[in-house]
Amino acid sequence: MNKWIWALIVIIIVGLGWWAIGFSGNSAQSGTGPIKIGSVLPLTGDAASIGTIDRAAVEIAVAEINAAGGVNGRQLEMIYEDGQCASTAASNAANKLMNADNVIAIIGGLCSTETATFAPAAMQKKVVVISPASSAPNLSQTGKYFFRDYPSDAFQGKFAAEYAYNTLGARKVAVIYHISDWGTGIKNVFETRFKELGGEIVSESGEPQTATDYRTDLTKAKAANPDYIYTPMYPQGDTALMKQASELGIKAKILGADGWDDPQLAKDAKNLGLDILYTTGKTGTTDAFKQKLQQKTKSPDVPVGAPQAYDAVYILANAMKSAGTDPDKLADTIRATKYDGVSGHIEFDQNGDLTVADYVVKRMANGTATVVQ
């Protein structure tokens, strides 16, 4: 019998413990102390390589703002939580930030999985959310306090399709994509748009984000002898794909998405004898920002979302300078913002998406990537 009693005691302790934590954390944002802001990025799991560097970009921005006196004299306090690119982890992380730390705003979800999980709750709690990289089209209907300074897949997929059809004159395209909210999203939009223009998708095959063997997909694509292979995939998949493509002697040219915008990939592609083009956001990513980031992370990568995360912090800080911390005023000010940041010109529409999302095309040649159009 005493086992039963012991069990009850433990349940009560943990339950009450949480209740107590809940109460203690209830200190509303005092008018003078530091302004608490949260960040939800994947620090472990599949997309950790991107998440950890985006976090560094946020840290640089926060340090710079605080050094320059913070917001109306109040310092910014950034609390980082791990979203793991998975819905349960992202929900727990965001809930802690919103309900225990009572943050004013959240910079994050990198993966659309994370953002789509906690954004609705944030809207209810009137917490401003600025996502630096979640590009899933369905996030546009999230709500009044949701913004993303990263173009929705709809833009990039459409731009790539038009560029391939009109400029590159491609008529038959094979698609190899990563099965993820980002990869599948872009693929769907690209295919619909490309078919509308009269092109033909000759072969399509997806692989999980963590896949390493693309030989069968490449062989299938090669057999369909397309003009171009369109590959919306994350950086690690691109490395393996390039290697295996060169091994298989793939002659068809490769058109990538912004997952390819990674200096390490350009170096690897140097003597693989592959013709690689890829679309990426028209980021006037100033070299100054790249130096700062590479110096902090000690890695050459400037992955998807890093410049956007840096800009997101500045947009939030500037908006708070004039609107203070009231969610509605803050949201309206952000919506009216026109900001030229390291990730390019930023203006928001009523859905919180970027109004203008122009892309550039870069070509990987002898170790570096140069803008083509």
Partner 1 sequence: MDAVPQIVLNIVIAGGIYSLAALGFNVLYSTTRFFDLGYGAYALVGGYAVLCLYKWVGINLELSLLLGVLIAGLTGFLTEKIVYRALRARRASNTVLLIASLGVFTLGQAALAIFFSSQFQSLSRDIASQRLFSIESGVITATQLLILTAAFAVMGILVVVWRYTKFGRAVRAIADDEEVAQTVGIDSERVIGAVYFIGAAVGGIAGIAVGFDMGLQPLGMTILLEAVIAAVVGGIGNMYGSVLGGFLLALVENIGAWQFGGEWKFAFAFAVLILFLLYRPQGILPK
Partner 2 sequence: MDYAVHILTMIAITGIAAVSLNLLIGETGLVSVAQAAFAGIGAYGMTLLMLHAGIPFLAAALFSALIAGAIALIIGAIFLSLREVYYVFGTVGLNMIVWAILLNWDSLTRGPLGIPGITRPEVLGISFADNTAFLILCAVVLLAVFAAHYAIMKSNFGRVLHAVREDEEAIAVLGYKTEVYKIVIFVISAALVAFSGSLYATYLSYINPSAFTVNDSIFILAIVILGGLGSAYGAIVGTCMLVGAFEALRFIGFPASIAGDMRQVFYGLILILFMLYLPRGLFGKFRI
Per rule CB under 8 A, is residue 95 in the interface with partner 2?
Answer: yes
The torsion angles phi and psi of 172, rounded to 5 degrees, stand at -120, 115
* 253 binds, options partner 1, partner 2, none, Cβ within 5 to 8 A by partner type: none
Site track for partner 1 across 230-269, x = CB under 8 A: ------xx-xx-xxx-xxxx------------------x-
Per rule CB under 8 A, is residue 92 in the interface with partner 2?
Answer: yes
Site track for partner 2 across 39-68, x = CB under 8 A: ----xxx------x--x-------------
Q: Name the amino acid, one letter, at 201.
A: I
Phi-psi region of 249 (alpha: psi -120 to 50; beta: other; left: phi over 0): left
The torsion angles phi and psi of 206, rounded to 5 degrees, stand at -105, 155
* 272 binds, options partner 2, partner 1, none, Cβ within 5 to 8 A by partner type: partner 1
Per rule CB under 8 A, is residue 208 in the interface with partner 1?
Answer: yes
Q: How far is the CB of 362 from partner 1 (least distance, A)?
A: 20
Q: How far is the CB of 27 from partner 2 (least distance, A)?
A: 12
Encoding tokens for residue 244?
């295996």
Selection from 185, 181, 184, 46 nearest residue 117 by Cα:
181
Q: Name the amino acid, one letter, at 112.
A: S
Burial class (CB in 10 A: 0-12, 13-18, 19+), 347: middle
Encoding tokens for residue 305?
């979302």
Q: Of 109, 117, 233, 369, which lies in the binding site for partner 2, with binding defined by CB under 8 A?
A: 117
| C-alpha dihedral sign at 284, 287, 290, 292 | negative
Of 177 and 314, nearer to partner 2 (C-beta) is 177
The torsion angles phi and psi of 123, rounded to 5 degrees, stand at -60, -40
Per rule CB under 8 A, is residue 36 in the interface with partner 2?
Answer: no
Contacts of 40 (CB under 8 A, 6+ apart): 81, 82, 83, 90, 93, 94, 97, 106, 107, 108, 109, 114, 118
Of 55 and 158, nearer to partner 1 (C-beta) is 55
Q: What span, in angstroms and rounded, lies between the C-alpha atoms of 187 and 204?
A: 9
- Judged by CB under 8 A, the chain residues 126 through 155 that form the site for partner 2 are 136, 138
- Judged by CB under 8 A, the chain residues 169 through 198 that form the site for partner 1 are 179
* 367 binds, options partner 2, partner 1, none, Cβ within 5 to 8 A by partner type: none
Encoding tokens for residue 82?
């791990």
The size of the chain, in residues, is 373
Q: What span, in angstroms and rounded, lies between the C-alpha atoms of 203 and 228?
A: 11
CB atoms within 10 A of CB 88: 9
Of 37 and 242, nearer to partner 1 (C-beta) is 242
Q: What span, in angstroms and rounded, lies between the C-alpha atoms of 128 and 331?
A: 7
Q: How far is the CB of 361 from partner 2 (least distance, A)?
A: 26
Per rule CB under 8 A, is residue 79 in the interface with partner 1?
Answer: no
Per rule CB under 8 A, is residue 49 in the interface with partner 1?
Answer: yes
C-alpha distances out from residue 249 to 186, 235, 267, Å: 27, 21, 19
Q: Of 29, 49, 66, 184, which lies in the binding site for partner 2, with binding defined by CB under 8 A?
A: 184
* 271 binds, options partner 2, partner 1, none, Cβ within 5 to 8 A by partner type: partner 1
Per rule CB under 8 A, is residue 366 in the interface with partner 1?
Answer: no
* 109 binds, options partner 1, partner 2, none, Cβ within 5 to 8 A by partner type: none
Q: Of 4, 271, 298, 338, which lies in the binding site for partner 1, with binding defined by CB under 8 A?
A: 271
Encoding tokens for residue 358?
């122009």
Helix, strand, coil content of the chain in percent (nearest 5):
50, 20, 30
Which residues lie near partner 2 (CB under 8 A)? 3-4, 6-8, 10-11, 14-15, 17-19, 21-23, 25-26, 43-45, 52, 55, 80-82, 84-89, 91-93, 95-96, 98-100, 112-113, 116-117, 120-121, 125, 136, 138, 179-181, 183-185, 206, 208
Which residues lie near partner 1 (CB under 8 A)? 44-46, 48-49, 52, 179, 204-208, 210-217, 219-220, 222-223, 236-237, 239-240, 242-244, 246-249, 268, 270-273
